[in-house]
Structure 1
Amino acid sequence: MTKAELYKELSYVNHSREKRLKYANLVIDYPELIPPLLDILFGVDNEKSCRAAWVFEFMCSKNIETIIPFLDVFTKHMSKVHLDSAVRPVAKICELITKTYYGKDDSKIKDSLTSTHKERLIETCFDWMINDEKVAPKAYSMVSLNLLGTEFDWVHTELVIILERDFQMQSAAFKARARHILKKIKKA
Structure 2
Amino acid sequence: MTTAQLYDELNYVNHSREKRTYYANLIINNPELVPKLLEILFTVDDKISPRAAWVFEFMSSENIEAIIPHLDYFTENIHKVHLDSAVRPVAKVCELIAKAYNSKTDNLIKSELKEIHKERIIETCFDYLINDEKVAPKAYSMSTLFILGKTYDWVYPELKTILEQDFALQSAAFKARARQILKKIKKLDKI
The aligned counterpart of 1:146 is 146
1:102-130 per-residue CA deviation (whole Å, 9 max, x = no partner) reads 11111100000000001001100000000
1:49-128 aligned within 5 A: 49-128=49-128
Looking at structure 2, the residues matched to 122 and 33 of structure 1 have their Cα atoms a distance apart, in angstroms, of: 27
Deviation at residue 136 of structure 1 after TM alignment:
0.3
Distance 1:38 1:154 in 2: 31
Match of 2:167 in 1: 167
Task: Mark the runs of 5 or more structure 1 residues left unpaired by the alignment.
Answer: none
Distance (whole Å) between structure 2 residues aligned to residue 149 and residue 56 of structure 1: 25
CA offsets per residue over residues 119-172 of structure 1, 9 Å max, x none? 001100000000000000000000000011110011000000000000010000
Give secondary structure in 2 for the equivalent of 1:149: helix
Q: 1:153 aligns to what SS in structure 2?
A: coil
Name the aligned partner's letter for residue 169 of structure 1: L
Partner of 1:8: 8
- Separation in 2, partners of 1:101, 1:32: 24
State the alpha-carbon separation in 1 of the partners of residues 149 and 31 from structure 2: 32
Distance 2:163 2:124 in 1: 16
Map of 2:131 onto structure 1: 131
Residues 48-76 of structure 1 show CA distances to partners (whole Å, capped at 9, x for unaligned) of: 00000000000000010000000000000
Hey, what does 1:38 align to over in structure 2? 38
CA positional deviation for 1:18: 0.1
Normalised by the length of structure 1, the TM-score is: 0.99
Letter in 1 for 2:85: S
Question: Which whole-Å CA distance do the structure 2 matches of 1:57 and 1:47 have between them?
Answer: 17
Q: Secondary structure at the match of 1:161?
A: helix
Q: How much has 1:33 moved relative to structure 2?
A: 0.6
| Residue 157 (structure 1) aligns with | 157
Give secondary structure in 2 for the equivalent of 1:60. helix
Q: 2:177 aligns to what?
A: 177
TM-score, length-normalised on structure 2? 0.98
Give 3-state SS (helix, strand or coil) of 1:122's partner: helix
Q: Distance in 2 between matches of 1:43 and 1:105?
A: 35
Matched length: 188
